[in-house]
Structure 1
Amino acid sequence: MKLMDCHTHTQYSVDSEADINKCIERAAELGLAAYAITDHCECNGWYKEEHYPENERYLRDSFDYAADFEGSVSAVTALKEKWAGKLNLICGVELGQILHDTNAAKIVNADKRVDFIIGSVHQVMGERDFYFIEYEKLTMDEIYDLLERYFKEVYAVSRTELFDVIGHITYCLRYMKQRHGIEADISRYDDIIAETFRSLAQNGKGMEINSSGLRQGFGDSFPNLKYVKLFRDMGGEILTFGSDSHTVEDIGADIADAMKTARAAGFTRGAYFKKRKPYFIDIE
């Protein structure tokens, strides 16, 4: 089985200290068929802190993502030359909160150095990142309201042209379950999730299977088999795989299991991107 890892983070992400050179060396050691570095770029924190109203700054975990983006893309572009012929190194970005600042998203999309864009929603408008939410202070009705807004925002993102694949579509469940044991039933949103998948398929966009939940206590991939099957039923063809690694050691972690999920859903190939175009590898 040829493994690929198309969602990873390095020292150029605010929440990672992974040395970019060691990450690339590890990917080469693993013999990955494709390896994408996709450091964080949150559109709602694109500018320096002083750009934003004081009463809104709490909504952002960090600022000046424009600098992080340039640092990562410049480094990966240079390293692509160094590793040419030895590793299929992809210059990517995880672009968060596209709808919160579409001008920032358009700047990233216009950068010809970028091979691949994951469109992620880490927080809904007017709320903090799901990582920071104090779920124990919310009622289940409030949690379901938050989840409804999340899936509506993901659907709205799916109708744009500002990304290549939607990242970890069930990310919204991660911290409420891992930290607080809250099991929310998202089947009530299956209709809008299905419409999101139909939109992706019709627009030539894809979805990722993010394997991080398998090693972090969640117990399943983001999304799980049910929703990978639904993506296929809605006409989805482009599927990428990502460990969401933030350390050297986690590169490629549980990707084989994510590929098994894809096969169980009826997929026979996975994709990676170069120059914003998908290339396919058989996973059977």
Structure 2
Amino acid sequence: MKLMDCHTHTQFSVDSEADINECVKRAAKLGLAAYAITDHCECNAWYGEEHYSEEEKKLRESFDYAADFENSVSAVTALKEKWAGKLNLICGVELGQILHDMEAAKKVNADKRVDFIIGSVHQISGEPDFYFVEYDKMTMDGIYDLLERYFSEAYDLSRTELFDVFGHITYCLRYMKQRHGINADISRFDDIIEETFRNLAMNGKGIEINTSGLRQGFGDCFPNLKYIKLFHDIGGEIITIGSDSHTVEDIAANSADGIKLAKEAGFRRLAYFKKRKPHFIDIE
């Protein structure tokens, strides 16, 4: 089984201290078929803090992602040259909140150094990142309202061309379960999820199997087998595997488990991106 990891973070992500050189060495040692560095770039915090209103500042922890983006892409571009022929290194970005500042997203999309863009929704309009939501202070009706707005925004994102693969599409469930044991049933949103997947498939976009939940107490991937199979069954062809690692040690963590899920869902090949175009590797 050829392992790959198309969602990883380094020192150029605000929530990671992983040395980028050590990350690359680790990926090479593992013999990964493809390794993408996809540091965070939140479109709704593209500019410096002074650019935003007081209300906007309350919903964010960090700013000036334009600088983080440039630092990451510059470093990866140099490492691609250094490791040419030794590692299939991909210059990527995890682009959050695309709909909140589409001009910022267009700037990232226009950068020819970028091979791969994960489109993620870490927070919805008017709310903090799901990481900071105080679920224990919410009613279940409030939680389901939050989830409904998330899947609505995910649907809207699926209609754009400003990314390649939708990242961890059930990210909204992560912290409510991990920290508070809240198990929300998202089957009530299956119709809009199916339409989201249909848009992605029709537009030549993919989804990722994000394996971070397997090592972080969630107990499953984002999304789980049900939704991976749904994407396959409505015609989705592009699927990537990502650990969402924020440390050197977690690179490619549970990649084999993600690949097994892809195969069980009906996929026979995995994708990675170069110059914004999908390349495929058969699942053995």
The TM-score, its normalising length taken from structure 1, stands at 1.00
Report the alpha carbon displacement of residue 157 of structure 1 after superposing the two structures with TM: 0.5
Q: Give the superposition deviation at 1:206.
A: 0.4
Quote the residue 2:155 is aligned against: 155
Q: What are the within-5 Å matches in structure 2 for residues 30-179 of structure 1?
A: 30-179=30-179
Residue 204 of structure 2 corresponds to which residue in structure 1?
Answer: 204
2:260 corresponding residue in structure 1: 260
Q: What is the match of residue 246 of structure 1?
A: 246
Q: Distance in 2 between matches of 1:87 and 1:58?
A: 41
Q: Deviations over 1:107-145 (max 9, x none)?
A: 000000000000000000000000000001100000000
Residue equivalent to 2:232 = 232
Distance 1:55 1:252 in 2: 38
SS of equivalent to 1:131: helix
Q: Deviations over 1:77-129 (max 9, x none)?
A: 00000000000000000000000000000000000000000000000000000
Deviation at 1:55, TM superposition (A): 2.2
Mapped to 1, the partners of 2:181 and 2:61 lie a distance apart of 24
**Structure 1 CA distance for aligned equivalents of residues 165 and 138 of structure 2:** 31
- The aligned amino acid for 2:46 is W
Please report the RMSD computed on the Cα atoms of aligned residues, expressed in angstroms: 0.4
Residue 186 of structure 1 is matched in structure 2 by 186
For the pair 1:215 / 2:215, whether they are aligned, the reply is yes
The corresponding residue for 1:280 is 280
Distance 1:56 1:129 in 2: 12
Shift of 1:61: 1.9
Question: 1:97 and 1:179 mapped to 2: Cα distance?
Answer: 24
Structure 1 counterpart of 2:283, one-letter code: I
Which digits, 9 at most, give the CA deviation of each residue in 1:218-249, with x for residues without a partner?
A: 00000000000000111100000000000000
- AA paired with 2:238? I
Aligned mates of 2:235, 2:59 — CA distance in 1: 36
The letter for the 2-side match of 1:102 is M
Aligned residue type for 2:151: F
Gapped regions of structure 1 (runs ≥ 5): none
Letter in 1 for 2:33: A
Distance 1:96 1:6 in 2: 16
Amino acid at match of 2:274: K
TM-score (norm: length of structure 2): 1.00
What amino acid is the match of 1:203? N
Distance in 1 of aligned mates of 2:98 and 2:277: 20
| SS of aligned partner of 1:177 | helix
Whole-Å separation in 1 of the counterparts to 2:182 and 2:231? 25
- The number of equivalent residue pairs is 284
Q: How far, CA to CA, are the matches of 2:170 and 2:2 in structure 1?
A: 26
Q: Following the alignment from structure 1 to structure 2, what is the Cα–Cα distance between the partners of residues 86 and 151?
A: 40
Which letter does structure 2 place at the counterpart of 1:178? Q
Residues in 2 aligned to 1:228 and 1:130: alpha-carbon distance in whole angstroms = 22
Measured in 1, the distance between the counterparts of 2:263 and 2:87 equals 25
The 2-side partners of 1:251 and 1:46 are apart by: 27
Runs of 4+ in structure 1 over 3 Å off? none
Cα distance in 2, alignment partners of residues 56 and 99 from structure 1: 15
One-letter code of the match for 1:139? Answer: T
For 1:160, what is the secondary structure of its paired residue? Answer: coil
* Identity between Structure 1 and Structure 2 (%): 82
Q: Which runs of 5+ in 2 are unaligned?
A: none
* Equivalent position SS for 2:127: coil
Letter of the structure 2 residue corresponding to residue 33 of structure 1: A
